[in-house]
Amino acid sequence: YAEVVGAQRIYIGVNAVDYSGYPDCRPEFVEAFQRLADVATKAGVEGHGAQVVAPLLHMTKAEIIRRGLELGVDYAMTHSCYDPDERGRACGRCDSCRIRMAAFAELGMADPAIG
């Protein structure tokens, strides 16, 4: 789709902190995705394909939250949960929730999505 719309960049929000449970969060995945885009699209083969960009890849979770706050993200409207309840609320128990809560705590804040 990126090639069809003429996109010059494909952004992916993966973060290496998650790589132990989520293989697509590893730098190797991002690099492989770039190589695939370079050989699997006409633009890539011609040397002007889309660049895969993973701006959060090497940031800590606290750094990501801090940057989001600087950008005005309302974290009460977000969650990182892989096991939300029937209403879509974060469970507060899964690895992703615990990592996120720890990052908010590192910044001296409670996670507004867990309540």
pLDDT of residue 85: 94
Dist. CA 97–CA 79, nearest whole Å: 8
- Per cent of the chain over pLDDT 90 is 85
Binned at pLDDT 50, 70 and 90, residue 21 comes out as: confident
Please report where in the chains the tokens 């309302």 appear, as a residue.
74
pLDDT of residue 86: 95
Which candidate, 85, 21, 31, places its Cα nearest to that of 114?
85
Sequential DSSP letters for the chain:
-TTTTT-SEEE----GGGTTT-GGGSHHHHHHHHHHHHHHSHHHHTT--PEEE-TTTTS-HHHHHHHHHHTT--GGG----SS--TTS---S-SHHHHHHHHHHHHTT---TT--
pLDDT of residue 48: 92
Flag whether pLDDT at 19 surpasses 90: no
Residue 31 or residue 23, greater confidence: 31
Domain residues of the chain, as ranges?
A: 1-58, 60-115
- pLDDT per residue over 44-71, tens digit each? 999 999 999 999 999 999 999 999 999 9
Mean pLDDT of 88-96: 93
pLDDT of residue 75: 97
